Amino acid sequence: MPSEYRLILKYADEPGYTPDIECYLRHGGYDALKKALALQPKDLPDGAKRSGPEQIRQEVMASGLRGRGGAGFSCGLKWSFVDRKSGKPIYLICNADESEPGTFKDRQIIHKDPHQLIEGMIISCFANDVHLAYIYIRGEMPDGARLLNRALQEARAKNFLGKDILGNGYDLEMHVHRGAGAYICGEETGLIESLEGKRPYPRIKPPYFPAVLGLWMCPTIVNNVETLCNVKHIVAMGGTEFAKLGTPNNTGTRIVSLSGHVKKPGCYEIEVGRATIGQLIFDANFGGGLRDGRKLKAVIPGGSSAKVFKAGEKFKIKDKEVDMLDLPYDFDSLIQAGSMSGSSAIIVMDDSTDIVGALANIAEFYAHESCGQCTPCREGSLWMSKALHRLTHGEGRAQDADYLVKIADNIPGGRTICAFGEACAWPVQSFVAKFKDEFVDKGAADEERRAKKSKGAGPGMEMKLAASQQH
Amino acid sequence: MSFTVPANLEAEIDKLITHYPVKRAASLMVLHAIQEHFGWISQEAVEWTAKKLELQPINVYELVTFYPMLRQQPMGKYQIKVCRTLSCALGGAYELHKHFCEKLGLDAHAHGPQTTKDGKFTVEFVECLASCGTAPVMMVNDDFHEAVSHAKADEIVGRCK
Ligand SMILES: Cc1cc2nc3c(=O)[nH]c(=O)nc-3n(C[C@H](O)[C@H](O)[C@H](O)COP(=O)(O)O)c2cc1C
Ligand code: SF4
Ligand code: FES
């Protein structure tokens, strides 16, 4: 039976482990930073020299680390795109907006081990010649913001931050910036606009790739909290050692946020791909199974934006038929199965769940959170939510299932500025495709009930007449 | 009524501004500081902030109208925010919200924040609070509460003096 592999959350839940710097130092804290700062230039065979920061970037590339925020993009590659010749300052922003429904892993790190994040950030900044960095934390985490501010002060007092860090000649300052309750601030260019003091309207790419034209039109790195923590461990253990964790192309660990209808919801850190979705839900080491007497109905595998899996669904992966529950929980398998591990949040729904209601809930989220710049996203997300509201309030129609898909199909695929377009369409497309009967039946039942009601001389009858006279 | 920012708040705001090479970037943090002190952001507060950051009032106003956490009118002394998103909904968030509304004499079906007549409580639904494993969750002002049963909800309300 697979079990947890705790790299990032190694100490977080240990009794007596506290978020202050003394406790962190007692557990080997800031040793990786000291190691990073002490790296000597290396002579290359061609006579060139590789600086310490370059060596760290090399290690991160070798580690195979992929972003933990949602897209799973190679961290080393992202850093390699940074424009280092522009002469402009390079900024780093930690994305601590954690707002993808179902996700609660960054909260654990921030609340229980903030110095790990700060150490990861300082090393990442040193590796990329960054002298000013921000932690963008969602507004609804005021305690997290206070904890981070205190941790930053402690780090400054020990000269892990500030001028001439540990006598190495390197300067770095770091500040906490709070959001104010808008999901779109998690999208990296929306985040940058928000940090600049504007509405968080995502920017169009190209040309506004953060690595080239980011914060104040300067090269900018945006990484998730968990990604940045990993950098500390990559420096501590070396990129190749790190790459031995997990599975090929899916290296390291991931903190899985498990919620919904399981006995033991919570955060479980696993080696990527070394546990299946089924194990995460049912094994005693993880979710511990469904509530007694319940059967599995559906699983959202990567935050609410990810396409839903239906219990019993089978996929062809590398010519083998694989049941949904037997999919290894990693980046690539879930993409092959037509969904994604996204922010590594698994939401479990048992057979007590009203699937139409669940989608209505998700659709309401997206309708509320669309920033409104792009017509397909702004209007589409609202229409879908309204149709689903009708369907869940006795006003549905049998044709609503097709109507929903028609709207959803017209949002993604390059019609919008940011990936929110995809994020709001995918749940609708997948829920309706996989549970179509439930949507059609519900609409048909509503129609039947309304038809029955309007027979006889009730108010329904009058309305019907009034409507037909308009033609 | 004139709008005056006390000296210690202004000092805090001046410090926040130093965190950014461009003043405008401090807007959100300044608005948070103002809201923490006054409870909401008035038109005068918008104008004061704009002046402070060398902006036009519209640059600040467009933030106040966009971000859900920024308030354009005074709210209750205790702001109850119940998460309504999927994991919490599966864990009974709608029932919890209804419980609060019934207890405090508010309409569970009304849209947006609602404040009790005595100005003591504001109740509203919010989106995922990033603690879905301990559903249903809620906040009262800055305090966070997990796995809130109806009994726990009553206790929380009871503690609000
Ligand atoms: C609508 C939307 C919301 C997002 N929300 C978050 C978020 O809350 N936290 C996060 O780390 N990344 C979020 N992302 C992904 C970021 O845009 C970005 O890819 C990520 O922060 C990069 O960090 P990583 O490479 O370390 O994963 C979101 C993306 C989109 C399109
Ligand atoms: S896709 Fe939606 S959220 Fe993204 S920029 Fe367009 S309107 Fe805004
Ligand atoms: S759904 Fe309520 S905290 Fe995430």
> Most B CBs within 10 Å: which of A137, A138, A259, as the mutation test of the B interface?
A259
CA A98 to chain centre: 7
| Chain B residues within 8 A of A139 when measuring between CB atoms | 32, 67, 69
End-to-end CA distance of chain A: 67
pTM for this predicted structure: 0.96
B114 and B56 in one domain? no
What is the pLDDT confidence band of residue A317, given thresholds at 50, 70 and 90? confident
Instruction: Kindly write down the DSSP assignment for every residue of chain B, as one continuous string.
Output: ------HHHHHHHHHHHTT-SSGGGGHHHHHHHHHHHHSS--HHHHHHHHHHTT--HHHHHHHHTT-TTS-SS---SEEEEEE-SHHHHHTTHHHHHHHHHHHHT--TT--S-EE-TTSSEEEEEES--S-GGG-S-EEETTEEE-S--HHHHHHHHHH--
What is the pLDDT confidence band of residue A470, given thresholds at 50, 70 and 90? very low
> Whose CA is closest to A75, among A307, A185, A235?
A235
End-to-end CA distance of chain B: 28
| Chain A residues within 8 A of B95 when measuring between CB atoms | none
Q: Is the pLDDT of residue A328 over 70?
A: yes
Residue B71 maps to a domain: no
Contact (Cβ atoms closer than 8 angstroms) between residue A78 and residue A127? no
B36-93 pLDDT per residue, tens:
999 999 999 999 999 999 999 999 999 999 999 999 999 999 999 999 999 999 999 9
Residue B142 maps to a domain: yes
| Chain A residues within 8 A of B85 when measuring between CB atoms | 101, 304, 361-362, 365
B21, B45, B66: which is the final residue of a domain? Answer: B66
What is the pLDDT confidence band of residue A1, given thresholds at 50, 70 and 90? confident
B52 and B17 in one domain? yes
Question: Around Cβ A112, how many Cβ atoms within 10 Å?
Answer: 17
CA distance A88 to A85: 8
B128 and B58 in one domain? no
B91 and B52 in one domain? no
Q: What is the mean pLDDT of residues A126-138?
A: 98
Contact (Cβ atoms closer than 8 angstroms) between residue A365 and residue A101? yes
Fill in the DSSP letter of residue A188: H
B115 and B152 in one domain? yes
| Chain A residues within 8 A of B81 when measuring between CB atoms | 140
CA distance A146 to A117: 14
Alpha-carbon torsion angle A452, A457, A461, A463, nearest 10: -140
The percent of residues above 70 in pLDDT, for chain B, comes to 99
Residue B72 maps to a domain: no
Among protein residues, the one with the nearest Cα to ligand 2's atom 4 is: A418
A420 lines ligand 1 (CB under 6 A): yes
Residue B2 maps to a domain: no
- Any A CB within 8 A of B134 CB: yes
Cβ partners under 8 Å of residue A74, min gap 6:
A61, A64, A65, A66, A67
Residue B54 maps to a domain: yes
- Smallest CA–CA separation between A110 and chain B, in Å? 12
The percent of residues above 90 in pLDDT, for chain A, comes to 94
Residue B21 maps to a domain: yes
Burial label for B39, CB within 10 Å (0-12, 13-18, 19+), is middle
B111 and B49 in one domain? no
pLDDT of residue A319: 87
A79: which 2 tokens? 């850093």
Ligand 3 binding pocket (C-beta < 6 A) is A 101; B 83, 85-88, 128-132, 135, 137
Q: What is the mean pLDDT of residues A9-35?
A: 97
Instruction: Kindly write down the DSSP assignment for every residue of A357-421, as one continuous string.
Output: HHHHHHHHHHHHH--S-SHHHHHHHHHHHHHHHHHTTT---TTHHHHHHHHHHTS-SSSSSSTHH
- Smallest CA–CA separation between A323 and chain B, in Å? 24
A73 lines ligand 1 (CB under 6 A): yes
Write the CATH number for B22.
Answer: 1.10.10
> Whose CA is closest to A134, among A105, A86, A96?
A96
A187 lines ligand 1 (CB under 6 A): yes
Q: What is the mean pLDDT of residues A325-341?
A: 97
CA distance A123 to A430: 41
B95 and B38 in one domain? no
Q: Do A197 and B63 touch (CB under 8 A)?
A: yes
The structural domain count of chain B equals 2
Write the CATH number for B136.
Answer: 3.40.30.10
What is the pLDDT confidence band of residue A453, given thresholds at 50, 70 and 90? confident
Q: Do B67 and A347 touch (CB under 8 A)?
A: no
Q: What is the mean pLDDT of residues A79-106?
A: 97
Residues spanned by the domain of B15:
7-66
Ligand 2 binding pocket (C-beta < 6 A) is A 184, 202, 370-374, 377-378, 416-418, 420-421
What is the pLDDT confidence band of residue A14, given thresholds at 50, 70 and 90? very high
| Chain A residues within 8 A of B87 when measuring between CB atoms | 101-102, 259-260, 265, 347
B143 and B82 in one domain? yes
B61 and B21 in one domain? yes
> Most B CBs within 10 Å: which of A140, A172, A255, A348, as the mutation test of the B interface?
A140
What residues does A314 pair with on adjacent strands?
A323
Q: Do A260 and B84 touch (CB under 8 A)?
A: no
Residue B73 maps to a domain: no
The average confidence (pLDDT) of chain A is 95
Q: What is the mean pLDDT of residues A411-437?
A: 97
Q: Is the pLDDT of residue A393 over 70?
A: yes
Q: What is the mean pLDDT of residues B154-158?
A: 96
The percent of residues above 90 in pLDDT, for chain B, comes to 97
B103 and B46 in one domain? no
Q: Is the pLDDT of residue A324 over 70?
A: yes
CA B90, A179, B144: angle at the middle one, nearest 5? 45
A249-282 pLDDT per residue, tens:
999 999 999 999 999 999 999 999 999 999 999 9
B93 and B29 in one domain? no
What is the pLDDT confidence band of residue A465, given thresholds at 50, 70 and 90? very low
pLDDT of residue A456: 55
pLDDT of residue B2: 74
B136 and B87 in one domain? yes
Residue B114 maps to a domain: yes
Domains and CATH numbers, chain A: 21-243 (3.40.50.11540), 254-350 (3.10.20.600), 355-455 (1.20.1440.230)
* ipTM for the whole predicted complex goes beyond 0.95: yes
Cβ partners under 8 Å of residue A163, min gap 6:
A171
Omega prior to B57 cis, within 30 of 0: no
Omega prior to B113 cis, within 30 of 0: no
Question: Around Cβ A158, how many Cβ atoms within 10 Å?
Answer: 14
Separation of A419 CA from ligand 1 center, angstroms? 10
What residues does A300 pair with on adjacent strands?
A347
Instruction: Kindly write down the DSSP assignment for every residue of A87-119, as one continuous string.
Output: -S-EEEEEEE---STT--HHHHHHHH-HHHHHH
CA distance A106 to A257: 10
CA distance A301 to A335: 11
Ligand 1 pocket test, candidate residues A75, A95, A134, most atoms within 8 A of CB? A95
B66, B98, B114: which is the final residue of a domain? Answer: B66
Contact (Cβ atoms closer than 8 angstroms) between residue A288 and residue A266? no
